[in-house]
Structure 1
Amino acid sequence: MPIIRVSLLEGWTMEQKAQVTHELTEGLAKVLGEVSRPFIYVVVDEMQAGAVSFAGTVITHEMNQEALALSARQHRTAVDTRRTEAAYGALAGQDAEEIARYWAPDVTWSVPGTSPLAGTRRGVAQLLALHHQRARLTGGTFTSERRPAFVDGTTALVRSHDSAVRADAYGHELAVDALHTLVWHDGRITAGSEAYAGADAAAHDAFWN
């Protein structure tokens, strides 16, 4: 059976150690094949500060605490699929404190086309107003089914399928695919934009006009 051993200095949480074992298991399963997964063991050894040295320098408790704090800060601002989805959730929940965690106060958001929704919004208030406008025009039927984000550095690309029904006498229906581009800086989204390709671009404009 494959056995992976990894040594960590003390202080990491149970959740972090669980993530380490998960990622190592995933990596080895990709190499050996899925048939190996049930037999992969991962052992995490915890070492005490003062019992380990690097290049002849003993790692002290203070040095270890500083490293743990730095890791925690990096995780809080990391651009990944989880944080990207949490950013959308914060907007949907309209909780000011949560929104401030993921969206810069001067964020810009651009919508293409010629519809009343087209243009660039500046600031969280205008971005929220855009969401309210969509909800009002569709009687709350607007939905966006998002796929996991593709992250490249500080940019996240999110594909979504948008659907809605106009809250008017005509009841026009919307069903288009969109691509959102989100630019992150220092842990928060500073700019976002929507894009619609081909027939979906025309359908998007026609629905909102």
Structure 2
Amino acid sequence: MKFDASLTPADISRLPERDLSGTTCVVFDVLRATSSMITALANGAAEIFPAKTIEEARALREKMPDALLGGERHGERIEGFDLGNNPLEYAAHSGRRIISTTTNGTIALRACERAGRVLVGALLNLAALRDELARSRPADVLLVCAGTFETFALEDAIAAGLLAAEFPDADLTDAAAATVATARSFATPLEGLLAARNGRALVAKGWRDQIEWCAQASRFGAIGAMDGGIIRSL
């Protein structure tokens, strides 16, 4: 297995130009989009529809009036939406379809839609991701770190590095090796998330509980896989 990593939104913007047909992409937006998605799937959500824009999300809602609208811009719930980007809000919607649009996470997911496989990554489902990759043994794995606005996000690299570190015999590109080194520089995932710029911003808003939730390594066995623009549990 070979691991590579896309570390910034600029890297992600070029993914649609790449041939990813033989690649398994694992997309991380730890604070907080993919953590919210894994929480929703682990608690029985039926499907998640990642939308690039608010307008696309609202158009999907018109076609699926029973679906919940979730998402954020600049970290805050979008006006008129049912849910924000707080993962704790996503634990009570068993059987529901959720339409999600976020600043970076849903864009990163959609950038990978031509890949051979797309998996939703978080600290919350780290062991399940490890087991799935060990089972499927893809030749190429791309760790996609969603970032924040146009910049690198420490928390995404930590989660990606913890996953890559589970495969000591894998061939790592320098970018993937950098995620492993980043992850190993913190004693715990929570320490790393609190050190991250996004983590500090959430603490300043009084939302430390969300960081603590997202930092729980392997809490859930859920794996979200995106196919045809729709995320479902494996």
TM-score for the superposition, normalised by structure 1? 0.26
**Which is bigger in relative contact order (C-alpha 8 A, separation at least 6)?**
2
Greater radius of gyration (CA): 1
